[in-house]
Amino acid sequence: NTTNATPITADKLTQNSGQTVGGLSNLRTLSLSITSGTNYIISIHAKISENRNYLGVADHISNAGFNKTWFNLSNGTVGTTHSSHTAKIKDEGNGWYRCSISVAATATISDGLIQIVPAETDGTFTVTGNGGSIFIWGAQLNEGTIFTPYIKTGASASTTIERGEVSKSYFDLQG
């Protein structure tokens, strides 16, 4: 698989056979320190694998609840979007899309959470129990308002300056 002509090794996020709530088969990043009034960008590369045409992203950083947005991986469009999100999808070639959500935190919390979920249809995490999956790669959370290129991040935050704005990348799935 490639994204922007760069070879990558993606992870396959698979729903357990018989499971009907996609939110139970997800990837989570826990314990993010989130600061009220700060802007963040969540981004991830995703591609269809089996029986799942949507990527669902739920955040617990823009407020105290979970806010959800869906991305259609079969036609490269943004699906149902939470009112606190500004969502974008970019075709990266070979069936890969970079999906992103911009959010402004409205509370300071120490237990921020992001869920990445394979979804069957727009607007719901409820799925049939046929064990569907999607490929994912390069998930990251950036502090700031500028959409930056993918930044490989290790155990601590990476800091870059993009068009004069300092951007901190807090995590990625590749580590």
Q: What is the pLDDT of residues 115-158, one digit of tens each?
A: 888 888 999 887 777 778 899 888 888 888 877 777 776 555 54
- Average pLDDT on 96-122 reads 88
Tens-place pLDDT, residues 22-81: 554 455 555 678 889 999 999 999 999 888 899 999 888 866 678 999 999 999 999 999
State yes or no: pLDDT of 5 exceeds 50.
no
Q: How far apart are the two ends of the chain, measured CA to CA in Å?
A: 19
Residue 170 has pLDDT above 50, yes or no: no
Q: pTM, whole model, 2 decimals?
A: 0.81
Q: Which residues contact 63 (CB under 8 A, 6 or more apart)?
A: 84, 105, 106, 107
The answer to whether 91 touches 35, Cβ cutoff 8 Å, is no
Low-confidence winner among 64-73, 81-90, 105-114 (lowest mean pLDDT): 105-114
Work out the average pLDDT over 165-170.
Answer: 46
